Amino acid sequence: MKRVFITGASAGIGLATAKLLADRGDEVWGTSRDIARIPQSPRLHAVRFDLGDTVSLGESFRAALREAGHFDIVINNAGSGHFGPAEFLSAEAVHAQFQTVVFAHIELCRLALASMRTHGGGRIINVTSLASRLPVPFMGAYNAAKAAMASFTMSLQLELEGSDIRVIDVQPGDIRTEFNDAIAKTDGGDPRYTARVEQAWRVVDRNMKAAPKPASVARRIAKLIDAANPPPRVTVGDSFQAIVAPFIFRFLPQLVRVWGLKKYYGL
């Protein structure tokens, strides 16, 4: 039985993971701004959590830690997105994206590491995105934030070599969640972007509706928790996104990568 802390446990990948782990016998502390959205379960403990407030974030984590005694696993999963031209992104919008995806989860990594050092080990699983390597058009701040978190994760892997704490980067491709329903879509008020935004959105939305369910990521996370020697990074999604595209793009020059992504999204 593991003691697990996971952010974003009220929907999508976070909810699927929290339910799977609790159902198999782990004790799970799952977070949400609205804890009423977290299902009631004897092994699933709801934690009210605001990733936009670093001070209350720390207080909430420490309160959950006192209740749990220690956490074997901390999963940084919560996220948010946008859809519109990077040209018109405000500094406030970029900061809000980075606060949720990067700054808050870096702080949670710091808190988790301090706790795990005391306990004698543990695992941190950061759910980033395949978009950190294969950017989605008109999601510039999201792509950049996920890339930043993936880079920070790799930095921890370098620095924690030889310790009893493992850090793992889980990079989902398109997963069938309500993520798109929560995204505000805009062309920035510029007609030069209108048709391109609509075209890219059609591909993004089509891919999302045909994508694997969140349970596929939850099952992979459970395997990473149980593995004696987990890999530092895994990609989850359909075979093209998770295996073929990353493998091919690894060897292509930037010019060809950009061309390939334009063709993929019909731009």
Residues of the chain with pLDDT under 70: 179-182
DSSP line for 191-209: HHHHHHHHHHHHHHHHHHH
Entry pTM: 0.91
What is residue 182's predicted lDDT score, i.e. its pLDDT? Answer: 66
Question: Coil, helix or strand for 164?
Answer: coil
How many domains does one find in the chain? 1
Distance set, CA 97 to CA 5, 71, 75, 78 (Å): 22, 27, 19, 11
Q: How far apart are the first and last CA of the chain?
A: 49
Residue in 108, 130, 122 with CA at minimum distance from that of residue 217: 130
What is residue 176's predicted lDDT score, i.e. its pLDDT? Answer: 80
Residue 236 CB-half CA count within 13 A: 23
**Domain housing 221:** 3-265
CB 126 within 8 A of CB 169: yes
Distance set, CA 219 to CA 123, 178, 214 (Å): 16, 19, 9
What is residue 50's predicted lDDT score, i.e. its pLDDT? Answer: 86
Find the CATH number of the domain harbouring 222: 3.40.50.720
